[in-house]
């Protein structure tokens, strides 16, 4: 599957915003092993994303991203704070607890949330892609405690899940700073 023009433009913007950075991608064999370990089948578009541009500053210690904004129409409770938050982005994977994993996988007719990042200030806030709607390229934000509360009340978790980026490329294009090891690099 090829990366579309709009997504490629987002990648280009990310690369141009960090001219001194080394960028990385994941190999097909790494992704296959990861899917086996996590017992997940990632969407083809997301595998293509990971094999094209997964991030910047590989292997430089703890890696965190700060965003300038979420999507304009995001209803996320963190929208007003996003510029001050740090996110770890990567293949976070399923929660270790079986009940939490099942909640993310099966508690909505529209969503099966696969975590790809966390807010470092409160790791209950997580970024995820939707595995149920294979063409849905959005990145969502939710708080794990809110999801679990919705489950206990018999509600659909979609009510507490917020679309924050149109795609992984959109997410990368909104990065305003990267903390890598002891260094912090600002977007130009």
- Assigned domain for 185 exists: no
What pLDDT, in 10s, does the model give residues 172-183? 999 999 999 889
Angle at 22 between CA 20 and CA 27, to 5 degrees: 160
What pLDDT, in 10s, does the model give residues 119-140? 999 999 999 999 999 889 999 9
- Assigned domain for 36 exists: yes
For tokens 């997410």, the residue is 171
In this predicted structure, the answer to whether residue 49 has a pLDDT above a threshold of 80 is: yes
Q: Which residue range forms the structural domain that includes residue 104?
A: 5-179
- Assigned domain for 128 exists: yes
- Assigned domain for 56 exists: yes
What is the number of domains present in the chain? 1
Sequence-separated (6 or more) residues with CB below 8 Å from residue 55: 23, 24, 63, 65, 89, 90, 172
- Assigned domain for 186 exists: no
- Assigned domain for 24 exists: yes
What 8-state DSSP symbol labels residue 88?
Answer: E
- Assigned domain for 120 exists: yes
Q: What is the CATH number of the domain that holds 52?
A: 3.40.1580
């Amino acid at each position: 599957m090829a990366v579309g023009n709009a997504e490629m433009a987002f990648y280009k913007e990310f690369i141009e915003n960090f001219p001194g950075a080394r960028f990385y991608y994941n190999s097909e064999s790494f992704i296959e092993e990861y899917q086996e370990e996590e017992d997940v089948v990632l969407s083809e578009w997301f595998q293509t994303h990971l094999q094209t541009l997964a991030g910047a500053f590989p292997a430089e210690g703890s890696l965190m991203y700060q965003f300038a904004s979420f999507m304009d129409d995001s209803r996320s409770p963190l929208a007003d704070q996003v510029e001050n938050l740090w996110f770890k982005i990567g293949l976070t994977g399923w929660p270790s607890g079986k009940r939490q994993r099942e909640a993310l996988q099966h508690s909505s007719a529209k969503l099966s949330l696969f975590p790809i990042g966390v807010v470092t200030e409160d790791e209950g806030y997580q970024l995820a892609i939707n595995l149920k709607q294979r063409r849905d390229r959005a990145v969502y934000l939710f708080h794990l405690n809110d999801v679990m509360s919705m489950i206990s009340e018999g509600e659909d978790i979609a009510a507490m899940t917020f679309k924050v980026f149109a795609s992984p490329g959109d997410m990368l294009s909104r990065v305003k700073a990267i903390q890598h090891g002891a260094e912090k690099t600002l977007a130009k």
